[in-house]
Structure 1
Amino acid sequence: MTAFHASRASFLSRRVVPAYLRIIRANRPFLTPGPAREHLRDRSLRPKTYGPPRRLRSDVVVSVDHSRGLPIYTLIPRTGRPRGNVVYVHGGAWVNEIAVQHWQLAADIAAEVGTTVTVPIYPLVPFGTAAQVVAAMAKLVLDNRSRYGEVCLAGDSAGGQIALSTAQVLRDEHGVALPGTVLISPALELSLSNPEIDVVLPSDPWLGKEGTRVFIDLWRGELPLTDPRVSPLLGEMRGLGPLTVFSGTRDIVLPDTRLLVERAREAGVAVDYHEGAGLVHVYPLTPTREGRLGRQQILDALSKALAPAKTTAP
């Protein structure tokens, strides 16, 4: 996740964001294998900090638990009684650590939805693999269901892949359908073989194919690319709970996202799809007016999913 230098009270033009990403060459690690391997070596040698920024919302309390073998952060509203839980899985191409924008969104969810938010700091490549992390996320959701009641999943980019794969594992292995899963520009089919990706690629200022494959090959571990724990687009959609999905049109995940929406709806899954014309990867996390609208739509979706069930008089 690239750090955009704009305050939360100001907004950049949607046209500024792609230009900025081009200037800083945000897509360099993703375009070709050489820079991808350099980026991987740098991240392995000099890991980035993952802790929350010192200045988050003052109406949210943050704590951390290390007892599971990986840091699990919890964000709760300072006042009121939280209802349910959201597990937020951050993106970063399976190689980059959680960014300030992820923390800000997690804090907004806790405060505005009035829920407990769990942020797991999962192992990245070359140390973490899809099988390992998806299993850990499924266990985390099950444990949180016992503790908090209803649990929703949310994730962006690589975290969106993990979130949807986890939702499928929960359904298949535990008979659990979540009340809501939010997917922000999710990675969905990691062969990157959809021919429409090459049509979108020239307009995407952030991502690329050949460099991303370096990270994917490590992430899949011993699993084939066709395994739904790696490529959830290839998994069964029927029986999943409601999905809220976001994608911009200047984003190489767009073609597979459209396929996800089509297949899920055909399988009877309720899908609320938001496609941002001219917008970039994970646009709800950008400091634009369209990003602000996307964040509000995320909050609305999670509020609806965690709302107390209405009872009717006998």
Structure 2
Amino acid sequence: MNNQRPTVATEPTSSIRVDHRDYRSTLEAATQALLKPFASLILKPPQTTYSGSPRLTPHKTAQKTCRVEEKSVEEMWIYTFSPLDARGERAVPHKLYYFAGGGFRGPANKEHWALCAELCLKLPQHEINLVSYPLVPESPASTTVPHLENVYQTIARQSKEQNFRITFMGDSAGGNVALVLGIYAASEYLRGATEGDPGSICPVENIFAICPATDMRNNNPEIDDIDKRDSLLSRKVIEEVAEGWIGEWFLSDPRVSPVLADLKLLKRANIKVDGIIAGYDVLAPDAAVFRKKLDDCGVEGDWLEWEKQMHCFPLMFSYHVREGVDANDWIVDILRSNVQQNE
């Protein structure tokens, strides 16, 4: 195993800071090798279909360390985490809304509940909320995204009334949702500022995307170079997921392919975009293109780029895989730093 220290690569004029790492532990390599034969089974769509926002049962992994409260916002179930020793409602300056991956087909799993619980315990200035957004096949993007926009409008009003800032965060498909919703928030804020509230600040201050799907067209030729190394996803899988998600829209619609959106909106709204890219992930080439476009637009951000890692490897922290633990620590450090920079 190579224990090389990470290097942060930032051009003098770049707004994006990249923490580049390339070591891979024996356990991580073994995990990738063991997963590959079972990838199709792991990614098999759930037999249960959901109409609207699925109502979830918090996983026992989260309930061991956190209290999880269920609430409904605009007919969407949201699960709020708080430490077991917390008393009453907490007034926090930041609320993080997490969108779990799962190919837009499955709700949050054990690893997502564990990550949200970990963030709750390590980030006392954040309230962690897991959003159960509507899923395909009953609710494709053409149905779900407008629903999420309505939810955002309510959360944005609460942000102003209760004086908190918002972070949208997600992994894989959920990373796509976080980016799309964050870009919508930027456009809504700028529209409002133009109409007569120039002194306001955007309710959303940060988007955090872990191994996100950024381009539903999936026409980047570099995808094929990584396809044989990806232990979980494949070009075939991500193309099927994209076709299932778009509904009545097109693959090139910015509301499903945020790489095609006007990313200057994020700069104008002063929204920071952080993210993680895994080297052995077929979504990585388009995520790298997206990050480059953010940089070209002057959007601030911190990105962890880790070679030889599998899709959404930070979720492996709960299994004590070294790279998952280190990535989780990096996430916490960046989110904590974001709070300190905006105080």
Q: In which range does the TM-score fall when normalised by the shorter chain?
A: 0.7 to 0.9
1:50–1:26 Cα change, 3 Å: farther
User: Does the CA contact (< 8 Å) of 1:152 and 1:302 recur in 2?
Assistant: no
- Structure 2 residue aligned with 1:172: 187
Match of 2:69 in 1: 63
Q: Distance in 2 between matches of 1:239 and 1:88?
A: 22
SS at match of 1:236: coil
State which of 294, 297, 305 in structure 2 corresponds to 1:267: 297
Instruction: Output the CA distance in 1 between the equivalents of 2:173 and 2:123.
Output: 24
**Alpha-carbon distance, 1:12 to partner:** 7.5
1:1-314 correspondence runs (5 A)? 13-23=27-37, 25-27=38-40, 39-40=44-45, 42-44=47-49, 50-56=56-62, 58-66=64-72, 68-77=74-83, 78-79=85-86, 82-114=92-124, 115-144=126-155, 145-146=159-160, 147=162, 149-175=164-190, 176=202, 178-240=204-266, 241-286=271-316, 287=319, 288-307=321-340, 309-310=342-343
Q: Is the 8 A contact 2:226 2:280 kept in 1?
A: yes
Q: Deviations for 1:125-144, whole angstroms, at most 9, x for unmatched residues?
A: 10112233233334434433
CA distance in structure 2 between the partners assigned to 1:304 and 1:132 by the alignment:
35
Q: Deviations over 1:83-137 (max 9, x none)?
A: 3100000000111221111111111112211121111111111011223323333
Q: Note if contact 1:150-1:306 (Cα within 8 Å) is conserved in structure 2.
A: no
TM-score (norm 1): 0.84
CA deviation after TM superposition for structure 1 residue 29, in Å: 7.6
Return the TM-score normalized by structure 2: 0.77
Task: Provide the C-alpha distance between the structure 2 equivalents of 1:252 and 1:202, rounded to a whole number of angstroms.
Answer: 9
Q: CA deviation at 1:59?
A: 4.6
Deviates more, 1:64-73 or 1:177-186: 64-73
CA distance in 2, matches of 1:260, 1:18: 26
**Aligned-partner Cα distance in 2 for 1:132–1:155:** 19
Q: Kindly, what percent of the aligned residue pairs are identical?
A: 24
Q: Deviations over 1:176-222 (max 9, x none)?
A: 37321111000010111111101110000101222433332221111
Deviation, 1:261, is 1.2
| Distance in 2, Cα, partners of 1:67 & 1:196 | 40
Matched residue, 1:8 = none
- Does the CA-based 8 Å contact 2:227-2:234 persist in structure 1? yes
In the alignment, structure 1 segments of 5+ residues that lack a partner are 1-10, 31-38
- Aligned mates of 2:277, 2:105 — CA distance in 1: 21
CA shift for structure 1 position 293: 1.1
Output one character per residue of 1:45-87: Cα deviation in whole Å (capped at 9) or x when no partner. Answer: 9xx9842212426552211014632321111234375331000
The size of the alignment, in residue pairs, is 289
Long gaps (5+) in structure 2: 1-24, 191-201
Distance 1:112 1:242 in 2: 21
Higher relative strand content: 2
**How far apart are 1:252 and its partner, in Å?**
0.2
Rate the CA distance shift 1:57–1:97 in 2: closer, same or farther, 3 A: closer
- Distance in 2, matches of 1:138 and 1:68, equals 10
* CA displacement at 1:28 relative to structure 2: 5.6
The answer to whether the 8 Å contact 1:155/1:184 transfers is yes
Q: Which amino acid aligns with 1:64?
A: E
What SS does structure 1 have at the residue aligned with 2:123? helix
Structure 1 consecutive aligned stretches of length 4 or more whose deviation exceeds 6 Å: none
**Separation in 2, partners of 1:153, 1:213:** 25
Superposed displacement of residue 231, structure 1: 0.5
Return the letter of the residue paired with 1:137: L
